[in-house]
Chain A
Amino acid sequence: GENVEQHPSTLSVQEGDSAVIKCTYSDSASNYFPWYKQELGKRPQLIIDIRSNVGEKKDQRIAVTLNKTAKHFSLHITETQPEDSAVYFCAASPGNDYKLSFGAGTTVTVRA
């Protein structure tokens, strides 16, 4: 089955700086890669996703890049703000399948 590894497990950044989280996956059939944000005590919520027919996708301060050859994808948050503090999860799926395999999560802390 799919194995998703996520790094780093914790990340502390100064407000205004950028944050980068990296994930690798094992199943070359995976073609859907969502990112979820989970604030303390709240439910995970999708913040951005990418499918394998594109290499990069942006939404305001958030971007995701995908390298299918190397089987890794990354989340980039620019101009970080305190409200970006949360746990971020990457996931991978064959896309037409129900199985989402999640990474272990990255706890991001934005220091004011």
Chain B
Amino acid sequence: ETGVTQTPRHLVMGMTNKKSLKCEQHLGHNAMYWYKQSAKKPLELMFVYSLEERVENNSVPSRFSPECPNSSHLFLHLHTLQPEDSALYLCASSQATGYEQFFGPGTRLTVL
């Protein structure tokens, strides 16, 4: 597997569920990102990790909790989500901050 991968590709969850999204990059990059993509809206940066340290939390509600155990893996833990959180969640990585970002295929999340 090459590039940036994400699992699962589709997720349906109730508001009381707890789930996690996983991202893995095979590019040897040092920075990883979580974005939210909603219809007709710009890509919204959620979290940034550089060398496994969180460098940005873009005013994201606490029901989203990121985790970066190493430079190749990034998780997004979800709990007590709202229907408006339904969106495509994209992971990306880059060699370093300020360089081209490579995106994963995304997880299509539906909150019922």
Contact = CB atoms under 8 A, between A and B. Distances in A.
Given A93-B98, A96-B97, A96-B98, A43 B105 contact: yes
Contacts of B81: none
Contacts of A104: 40-42
A22 to B, nearest CB: 15
Contact of A97 (B42, B98, B101, B104): B98
Contacts of A44: 43, 90, 103
Contacts of B55: 98
A105 B102 CA distance: 18
Interface string A41-69: 01111100100000000000000000000
Q: Is the contact region of chain B dominated by helix, strand, or loop, or is it mixed? A: strand
A96 B97 CA distance: 6
Contact of B42 (A46, A94, A95, A103): A103
Interface string A73-95: 00000000000000001010111
- Interface extent on B, as a size class? 20 to 34
Interface in A20-50: 32, 34, 36, 42-46, 49
Contacts, number: 55
Contact of B103 (A9, A43, A49, A98): A43
Chain A CB within 10 Å, residue with most, of B31, B50, B97, B102: B97
B23 to A, nearest CB: 12
Contacts of B43: 44, 89, 91, 100, 102
Chain B CB within 10 Å, residue with most, of A43, A96, A102: A43
Interface string B89-112: 010001001101111111000000
B41 A97 contact: no
Contact of B50 (A42, A94, A95, A98): A98
A95 B103 CA distance: 18
Interface of B: 4, 31, 33, 40-43, 45, 48, 50, 55-56, 90, 94, 97-98, 100-106
